[in-house]
Amino acid sequence: MKRVVLALIVALLALLLSGVWYVWKRPLAVLAWGERRNLAKNGFQKTALSTPNGEMTVWEAGSGPTVVLLHGAGDQAGAWSIVVPDLTGKYWILIPDLAGHGESAPAAGPLKLGTILAGVETLVHARGKDQPVVLVGNSMGAWLAMVYAHRHPERVARVVAVNGGALHGDYDPMILLPPDREAARKLMEMLRDPDSLKTPDFVLDDVVRHARNGPMGRMFSGKDFEQFLLDGKLGEMRVPVDIIWGESDRLIPLDYAKRMAAQLPAARITTLPRCGHVPQRECPSSLIAALEKVLKEPPPGPRPAGAATTTEPPKPGMP
């Protein structure tokens, strides 16, 4: 009996140590697992959608008008897990793992932005309930939302662009592929508010690994970004655009949002103080308040010449 108890204790200790090791070596995978588990706990069903480039994983819940949430490059659907419980009572929410991200195909090889956009097109056409949808995107997700709306205005009621868009940026894209811990630290400092918690070294090491081996590195091998930029074309946009921007974003600063709004026929900006590039993780309560506010209001109409585009941020609730 003592041998059995001892064997059980040894097995439990080994399991505990292996868990600690995994958290230490793969913290981003652990974060993604927790976020996806949170989606399931909040009533989201994980479904599969056939696309031209393989199977896409889509999380679905709620009822009402369709809202599609698009994550950024290198991320996955769980990034929205804290935000969505406040939305499912009013909207039918679709959250895909974008092509080549999360559990969605293709799982290997160069990843083109055109492939990712094709997945968004398939999703909206298949699950949009034959009504114009609201596209909410963060970073690359905002880029995709704007390109899709530009190409298919009849299928989009409005776009909500969160710290992202379809114009050239002023930063070197290679900063998104940090080669070492210090480069990763610099990147994370650009993405987050200075007063937010600092990213631990073991997480920075995983950022380096994930950037090199994950979807981001594969996208840089795809090399088709230029054809999807809308510089000089935003004036053609027939869909109204709400722009929600974390003011502390130093990768794509607020000036980018203002430049985008100045070119769009119908746009307004809501800013989020003390938030960086990914508000749904860094300051979800502020983003929830902003999303609920803009979605309750009529879409922005054509702006009179010389009118201001920036609105005061809503007061966030408790996290």
As a whole number, the mean pLDDT across the chain is 89
Alpha-carbon span 314 to 271, nearest angstrom: 9
Task: Please give the pLDDT value at position 171.
Answer: 87
Break the chain into its structural domains and give their ranges.
24-311
Residue with tokens 């080549």: 100
Q: Is the pLDDT of residue 253 over 70?
A: yes
Residue with tokens 């995107």: 137
Q: Indicate the pLDDT class of residue 306, thresholds 50, 70 and 90.
A: low
Q: Side-chain half-sphere of 8: how many Cα atoms within 13 Å? A: 5
Q: Smallest Cα–Cα separation from 95: which of 161, 47, 54, 154?
A: 47
Q: How many residues appear in the chain? A: 319
24-311 falls under which CATH superfamily? Alpha/Beta hydrolase fold, catalytic domain (3.40.50.1820)
Over residues 229-240, the mean pLDDT reads: 97
Q: Indicate the pLDDT class of residue 26, thresholds 50, 70 and 90.
A: confident
**Contact of 166 with 137, CB cutoff 8 Å:** no
250 CB burial (10 A radius; 0-12, 13-18, 19+): middle
Q: Indicate the pLDDT class of residue 307, thresholds 50, 70 and 90.
A: low
Over residues 73-102, the mean pLDDT reads: 96
Over residues 255-266, the mean pLDDT reads: 97
Give strand pairing partners of 54. 51
| % of the chain with per-residue pLDDT over 90 | 80
Over residues 148-171, the mean pLDDT reads: 96
Task: Please give the pLDDT value at position 128.
Answer: 86
Q: Indicate the pLDDT class of residue 99, thresholds 50, 70 and 90.
A: very high
What is the sign of the dihedral through the CA atoms of 34, 35, 38 and 43? negative
Lowest mean pLDDT among 89-103, 131-145, 294-308: 294-308
Name the strands in the sheet holding 310-311, side by side, starting at the edge strand that comes first in the sequence.
45-51, 54-62, 92-96, 66-70, 133-138, 156-162, 241-246, 267-272, 310-311
Alpha-carbon span 94 to 302, nearest angstrom: 29
Q: Indicate the pLDDT class of residue 106, thresholds 50, 70 and 90.
A: very high
Residues in contact with 36: Cβ distance below 8 Å, sequence separation at least 6, in sequence order: 59, 76, 77, 78, 81
Q: Side-chain half-sphere of 172: how many Cα atoms within 13 Å? A: 6
Task: Please give the pLDDT value at position 5.
Answer: 40
Over residues 224-233, the mean pLDDT reads: 94
Q: Smallest Cα–Cα separation from 138: which of 191, 186, 90, 86?
A: 191
Distance, CA of 171 to chain centre: 19
